[in-house]
Every structure is written in C-alpha cells, then in structure tokens.
Structure 1
Amino acid sequence: MKTYALVFQGTAYTSKSPKEVEVLENYLFCVNDDGMIEMVIAPGDPAYRATQNTHEVRRLAEGQYLLPGFIDLHVHAPQWAQAGLALDVPLYEWLHTHTFPLESKFSDLEFAADVYDDLVGTLLANGTTTALYFATVHKEASLLLAEICANKGQRGLVGKVVMDDPEQNPEYYRDADTKTALAETEQFIREVKQLAESVKQGVYPVVTPRFIPSCTDEALQGLGELAARYDVHIQSHCSESDWAHEYVQKRFGKHDAAALHDFGLLGQKSVMAHCNFLDDEDADLFARTGTAIGHCPLSNAYFANGVLPLARWMDKGVEIGLGTDISAGYTPSLFDNARQAVISSRMLEDGVDTALPADRRGVPESRITIDEAFYLATAGGGESLSLPIGRLAEGYAWDVQIIDLTAGGMKLPVFGGGDSKRELFQRIMYLCRPEHIREVWVQGEMVHSRSR
C-alpha cells in the first residue's frame, strides 16, 4: 500500500473547466513528500477505506471546506505601504506624487524588509498562495522580497523593475542607465535561481519592464533576450489606459501587444497586466503565443478608463487570471477581486449611461459567473503561469485554503441546513473574509493558521 505524507478528508471545490466548478464531496486527498497531490480518492473507490485504514487522516470539521490557494497575477509589492491612499486622484498625480516617491525609499533594506514581510504574511492570510510581484528598481531589495517569500512559504515570482528612460521617469527613481538595468536584471535572475534550489514551493525570477513608456528600445530588446536565455517568466503592463495605449501607438505605430512581441516579451511564461484596450488582433496574438492577461478589476475601475471584455477574450482562448494590483487595487483579497470581476462584467453588459436606450447602452454577452471568477483566481492563474497549481487534482501542488463557515463571531448566514453544496460555494465566494480562512497550505506545508 502506498504511503503518503499527508491525507486530508473533506469536501472541496475546484474548477472542472473555466465555466464550471466541481464539488468533490468527502474525498480523500493524498499528498506526497514533495507536496504534490498524488491521489484523489472518491468515496466508494476501493482505495478509499484502505487509505483511511493505513494513514492518519486529517478530517475537516463540520462547516469546513477546501478551496485551492489563490494565485495573484499582479502585485506591486512596495505599494503595500500606500494601500488605501490617494485613489481619488488622477493617475499621473498618483504616480508622481505618491507612488514613485514611495518606491524610491526601497533602497533602504530595513524599510523594504518591514513592508515586504507584512505584505507576504497578509497575502497568505487572505488565501493567496502564489503571487507575481513587481518589486522596485533596486536589485538588493527585490532579492530580499524573494527571500521573504521563500522563508514564509509563499510561492513568489519576483521581478526587479526596469525603468531606464530618462525622459519618462523621475531622476530620483529610475535605473542609472540601460547597461546597468540589464546587468542588474541578469544578476537578479541568477541570484533568485540559486535561492530557488533550496525552496520547496519555488521562487522564480521575472523579467519586468514596468511598461513600454518607462523603457528604452535597447532595454526592451535586452530584456527579451535575457528572458529567452534564462527561460524565465516575463511581466509588464499592456494597453492599460487611454494614455498608455496612445503613447505606444505614437512611438511605434502599433499596439502594445505587437510592440512587446517584437521585443520577444510575449510567450508561454508572459503575463501582461490590465490589457483593457486590446483589439481582436491583439487577443489573437496573445492566444497564439500563450501570453496571459492579469485581470485587475478593482484597480481598473480607478485608473484604466475602461472595463476589460473578459468573456470575449476567454472565448477566444486567451489565458486569464486575477490580480489585486496593490495598491491601485486597495485590497489584498482575491475574494474581493473575484466579486468585482463579476460586478464589472455585468456593468459592461448592461451599460452605465442611462441617457442611452437600453439596447444601445451595453455590450451583449459580457457577464461572467462566480464560477468563472473562481476559475480566474485559481486554475486560470496556474495556467497563466504555466505551473501545476490552482486545482485540487492529481499532479497539482497541495496549495489550499481551509474555509470555516462557523468562524467565531463571523458565521455565514446559513440556516436550517437547506443549502446545497453549490449554494454554499456561492456564499463562500461572496461572503468569505480573512476570518473564515482557518488554514493555508503551500506545497504540503502549513504557512498560516487562525484560531477561532
């Protein structure tokens, strides 16, 4: 009889497809020493009783359920220090009055350690087991973020940001020059890869041009070459707002997607944030190259000048996951962003200008369901990163949240025992708060727990 490192028994929710959530009621989940799910056993399977008899089984209590850990595809880690501030000002003011001055402080490693340690712990407490991070231009502080992820048990994908264009970036906060930006990025890649050799859950270096307007052509070309040479992930912003989208067209005579592709920055390991102004040709290019969208519905409402046509691009086969976009998105919770993804999609479909007649007001067939939003926060994020995460299925990492509907003082409004498991899933997705997340596990290791 096979011996497993961990065996959990309970009811779980996982994405069967982008549009459908599967309920695995009272299943056994068998986890090996590497933290991977080796067997998922249904009640009635002959192996079910045998496994129970030969292992110490962790049985979930009444009112507890398993969800995959969430995958956040867009976090500006230094901006955690300004979360909840200045969201009522224009983007230019937000960047130059608040954000860039804050990010410049991360040359101070003690300050960086305080912010990053708190952020990683907070994300874990909110059920985020994997995060794709923008750090700052500072190589040492960016490496520190990767080390904190490693030590706290979160799967972190971390990018040292490149901002080398002196015409677009403030003098007090940018790379010294293009040569330095590329050299430090290469050093950062090597150092994170070395760190990863001793990290069970994985940490990954990410090539990170902030966005096209912040980088020279030479930097963009060099970053594409580094990503290919070291086979690492790539992240940036793409066609986020009217200004950014128009800037790239004036500079290159083409959309962001085509320009990024020319520089070798689109591919199976690429995640581009926002992408609100893609057209069909851009989306086809994303689907063809395997480039993913990091959809940030809350921050889009503040700064993106539009709503992503999410359903349309999903139907085209574009890989999409969710991001918080801290701090343009004020909350560290992907529960909140999953809810907002549904809200924004409904507003796009129904329209918002009541001066127009109903049949001209919105974009038909734009709304998504909470099942689809859950997929974006879990399996969609894993597929976007080309990693075996985001599903409670064989061959995937044991990255889970244990949700407790009866958390002290925070009981969800479930009465009379009449809810089906499908209805309980909807309540979890719409009403769950950090207080309901009893435990968080990453790669078979418990990284967060909360008492009643």
Structure 2
Amino acid sequence: MANYAQVFLGTAFTSKSFSEVTILKDFLYCISGDGIIEQLFSPLDEQYEAILKEYEGKGNFRRLSNDEYILPGFIDLHVHAPQWAQAGTALDLPLEDWLNAYTFPVEAKFSDIDFAQAVYEDLVKTLLANGTTTVLYFATVHKQASLLLAKICSLLGQRGLVGKVVMDNDDQCPDYYRDADTATALKETEEFIIEVQQLNEQTKQGVYPVVTPRFIPSCTDEALQGLGELAAKYNTHIQSHCSESDWQHGYVKDRYDKNDAFALNDFGLLQEKSVMAHCNFIADEDAKLFAETGTAAAHCPVSNVFFSNGVFPAKHIHELGVDIGLGTDVSGGFSPSLYDNIRQAVIASRMLEEGVDTTISADKRGVDSSRLTTNEAFYLATAGGGESLSLPIGKIEENYAWDVQIINTNLQNGKLPIFNDPLEDIFQKILYLARPENIREVWVQGEKVHQR
C-alpha cells in the first residue's frame, strides 16, 4: 500500500468541464509529501476500506463532518496588490482620472518598504482567508517592494505570480511615479525575474516572476519590445491590461491603428503563459488571436462595473477557444472575494443577455446566449484559472496540487439554509451564500495555510 503524507475523507465539488461539476461523495483524497493529489478513491473502489482502515485514527487522517465540504482553492488572475491600501474607496471617476487622482499616488508610497510590508502581508492573509490559493499580482514599479511581495507569498504559503510593473512612458505616467527610464525598467525587470526564480527553488507551492507592462499607455515601444524579449529569454508568465475601457481601447487604436491584442502580439507579449486583464472590447479577431497564441483573459466582473464601460462577453469569448479565469481586480474591484466575483459574473452575464434599457423592445435589447450558469462561473474561478496559468491547479483530480478550501455550512453564526437538500443544491448554496467565516481551513500544496 502506498505511503501517503495525508488522507482526507469527505465530499468535494470540482469542475468536470466548463458546464459540468463532479460531486465526489465520501471520497478518500490521498496526498503525497509534495502536496499533490496522488490518488482518489470512491466508496465503491475495492481499496477504499483497506486505506480507511490503514489511516483512520492516525494524525495524518482527516474525516470531514457531515456539514463540511471541499472546494478547490480559488485562482485570482488579476490583483493590484498595492491597491489593497485603498480598497473600498475612490470608485467615483473614469479609469484614466481614477488612476491619476487616486491610484498612482497610493502606489508611489511603496517606495517605503515598511509600508509595503504592512499592506502586502495583510492582503495575502486576507486572500487566503477568502479561499484564494493562487494569485496573479501586479505590484509596483519598485523592485524591492515587488520582491517583498513574492517573499511574503512564499512565507505565508500562497502560490504567487508577481510582476514588477513597468511604466516608462513619460507622456502618460506622472513624474513622481514611473521608471527612471527604459533601460532601468528593463534592467530591474531582469534582476527581479532572476531573484524570484531563485526564491522559487526554496518554495514548496511555487512563486513565479511575471513580465508586467502595466498597459500599453504606460509603456514606450522600446519597453514593450524589451519585455517581450525578457519573457522569451526566461520563459516567464506575462500579464497586462487589454482593451479594458473606451479610453484605453481608443488610445491604442490611435497609437497603432490596431487593437490591443494585435499591438501586444507585435511585441511578443501574447503566448501560452500570457494573461490579459478585462478584454471587454476585444473583437472576434482579437479573441481568435488569443486562442492561436494560447493567451488567456482575466474576467473581472465587479471591477468592470466601475471602470470598463461594458460587460465582458465571457460565454462568447470562451466559445471562440479562449481560456478564461476570474479576477477581483483589487481595488478597481472593491471585494477581495472570488465568491463575490462568481456571483457578479452570473449577474452581469444575465444583464448582457437580457439587456438593461427597458425603452428598447425585449427582442432587441440584449445579446443572445450570453448567460453564464453557476457551474460555469465556478469553473472560471477554479479550473479556468489553472488552465489560464498553465499550472496543474484548480481541480480536485489526480496529479493536481492539493489546493483546497474546507467549507462548514452549519456554523452558529454562519448557517446556510440547508434542509435535507441534494448535494447539487448544497453546492449552489455554498457559492451564493458562503461568507469568509464559513471557510474553516485553506490548504495550498498540501500545507494548511489558514484556519478559523
């Protein structure tokens, strides 16, 4: 019999496909010392009773109660880590004005390493407490503070993909907050990549450097070209914003006479490990380019309400072959919870399909076949995120990382309205009604990183 590091017994929910959820009722989950799901056994498997007899009662065995359920850890594809300091405020202006009036002044403060430590440590702990086990982070232009964020992820057990932001275009970036020049931006990015890759060698769950042009307006052509070359040289992930708002989408059209997707591709920034945030204004030809290059989209449904001037057509873009995951976009999105974004993804898609202007007839006011189901939104927060990052995460399946959240539905101050419901309904109630206090434990790569 195999020697497992840990064995769990309980019921889990995981995506089978974009629209289907598999219920693993009373399964045994056998975890290796590396934190990988080595084997799964259903009660019908002939080895089930032997493994149960072998491990039950030992310190590395965990039997969940009848009120506890396992979900995959959520994967957040778009977080501006420094903006946690302003989350829940300053959402009243259009994107360009918001950046200059509120956000750039906040991000400039991260030259102070003590301030960065306080904000980043609190953010990582908060995201873990919300069931988020992997995060794709924008940091700031400051190399040392960006390295600090990677170190905090490593220490606290979260799988972090961290980017030192590049902003070298003095036409679009304020004097007080930008890279000193293009050469410095590229030099510090390369140094950052090397140091994070070295940190990754000592980090069980993984931390990864990400090439991060903030977006096309913030960068010169020389920086964009150099970043594409660095990503290819070191085989890193890439992230940026793409066709987010009327202003940003229009700016790129004016500068290059083409959409963001094709402009970014010209600089080598679209590839299998690229994730582009928002993408509300991408055309079908842009989406097809994403699919051809393996580029994924980070759908940020809460943030889009405030800054993106439209609803991202997630169902349609997915049907064109694009990998899609969810992002909170802290602090353009006020909530650090992907539960909130799952809910909003469903709500926004229904509004897109049915339309919002009641002065237009019902047969003309919406976009047909746009709605996302609960199962599909759950997929985006889990399996879709893992596929977008090209990592074996986001599913409760053999050879995937044991990244999970354990949900208790029957707390004294957090009871969900479950009354002999079938498991399919319990799953939906968890997604719509669970609060952070229902998330009792969070595990990343086989290590417990949060407990209430």
TM-score w.r.t. the length of structure 2 is 0.99
Of 445, 449, 452, the match for 2:451: 449
CA–CA separation in structure 1 for the residues paired with 2:18 and 2:40: 20
Partner of 1:31: 31
Three-state SS of the structure 2 residue aligned to 1:397 is coil
Give matches, 1:267-278, under 5 Å: 267-278=271-282
CA–CA separation in structure 1 for the residues paired with 2:293 and 2:278: 17
Aligned AA (2:22): E
Identity %: 68
Three-state SS of the structure 2 residue aligned to 1:343 is helix
Is there any run of 5+ residues in structure 2 with no aligned partner, and where? none
Aligned AA (1:100): F
Of 278, 282, 301, the match for 2:286: 282
Aligned AA (1:265): L
Partner of 1:260: 264
CA–CA separation in structure 2 for the residues paired with 1:392 and 1:108: 40
Partner of 1:10: 10
CA–CA separation in structure 2 for the residues paired with 1:290 and 1:91: 28
Aligned AA (1:248): V
Three-state SS of the structure 2 residue aligned to 1:44 is coil
- What's the CA shift for 1:89? 2.2
Partner of 1:202: 206
- What's the CA shift for 1:317? 1.3
Three-state SS of the structure 2 residue aligned to 1:182 is helix
Instruction: Check the 8 A contact 2:96/2:247 in 1, yes or no.
Output: no
Partner of 1:375: 379
Give matches, 1:68-79, under 5 Å: 68-79=72-83
Partner of 2:221: 217
Give matches, 1:82-121, under 5 Å: 82-121=86-125
CA–CA separation in structure 2 for the residues paired with 1:408 and 1:162: 48
The alignment status of 1:350 with 2:333, answered yes or no, reads no
CA–CA separation in structure 2 for the residues paired with 1:86 and 1:214: 21
CA–CA separation in structure 2 for the residues paired with 1:234 and 1:76: 15
Partner of 2:155: 151
Partner of 2:305: 301
CA–CA separation in structure 1 for the residues paired with 2:98 and 2:247: 14
Three-state SS of the structure 2 residue aligned to 1:87 is coil
Aligned AA (2:449): V
Aligned AA (1:27): F
Three-state SS of the structure 2 residue aligned to 1:46 is coil
The alignment status of 1:61 with 2:68, answered yes or no, reads no
Partner of 2:126: 122
Deviations 1:188-217 (A, max 9, x none): 000000111100000000000000010000
Three-state SS of the structure 1 residue aligned to 2:375 is helix
Three-state SS of the structure 1 residue aligned to 2:316 is helix
Deviations 1:334-384 (A, max 9, x none): 000000000000000000011101111000000010000000000000000
Pairs aligned (count): 448
Aligned AA (1:306): G
- What's the CA shift for 1:50? 1.3
CA–CA separation in structure 2 for the residues paired with 1:112 and 1:411: 37
The alignment status of 1:141 with 2:169, answered yes or no, reads no
CA–CA separation in structure 2 for the residues paired with 1:315 and 1:426: 24
CA–CA separation in structure 1 for the residues paired with 2:335 and 2:174: 27
CA–CA separation in structure 2 for the residues paired with 1:365 and 1:295: 18
Aligned AA (1:52): L
CA–CA separation in structure 1 for the residues paired with 2:21 and 2:317: 20
Aligned AA (2:323): E
Aligned AA (1:340): Q
Deviations 1:233-260 (A, max 9, x none): 0000000001111111111111000010
Three-state SS of the structure 1 residue aligned to 2:15 is strand
- What's the CA shift for 1:93? 2.6
CA–CA separation in structure 2 for the residues paired with 1:18 and 1:238: 24
Partner of 1:21: 21
Three-state SS of the structure 2 residue aligned to 1:358 is coil
Aligned AA (1:14): T
Aligned AA (1:193): Q
Partner of 1:167: 171
Aligned AA (1:36): I
Deviations 1:272-309 (A, max 9, x none): 00000011100000011110000000000100001011
Deviations 1:130-170 (A, max 9, x none): 00000000000000000000000000000000000001100
Instruction: Check the 8 A contact 2:95/2:245 in 1, yes or no.
Output: no
Aligned AA (1:372): E
Give matches, 1:271-420, under 5 Å: 271-415=275-419, 417=420, 419-420=421-422
Aligned AA (1:43): P
CA–CA separation in structure 1 for the residues paired with 2:154 and 2:423: 35
- What's the CA shift for 1:90? 2.4
Is there any run of 5+ residues in structure 1 with no aligned partner, and where? none
- What's the CA shift for 1:91? 2.0
Aligned AA (1:433): R
- What's the CA shift for 1:315? 1.0
The alignment status of 1:52 with 2:52, answered yes or no, reads yes
CA–CA separation in structure 1 for the residues paired with 2:40 and 2:319: 30
TM-score w.r.t. the length of structure 1 is 0.99
- What's the CA shift for 1:92? 2.6
- What's the CA shift for 1:408? 2.5
Instruction: Check the 8 A contact 2:153/2:159 in 1, yes or no.
Output: yes
Q: Which sits farther off after the overlay, 45-54 or 253-262? A: 45-54
Give matches, 1:411-450, under 5 Å: 411-415=415-419, 417=420, 419-450=421-452
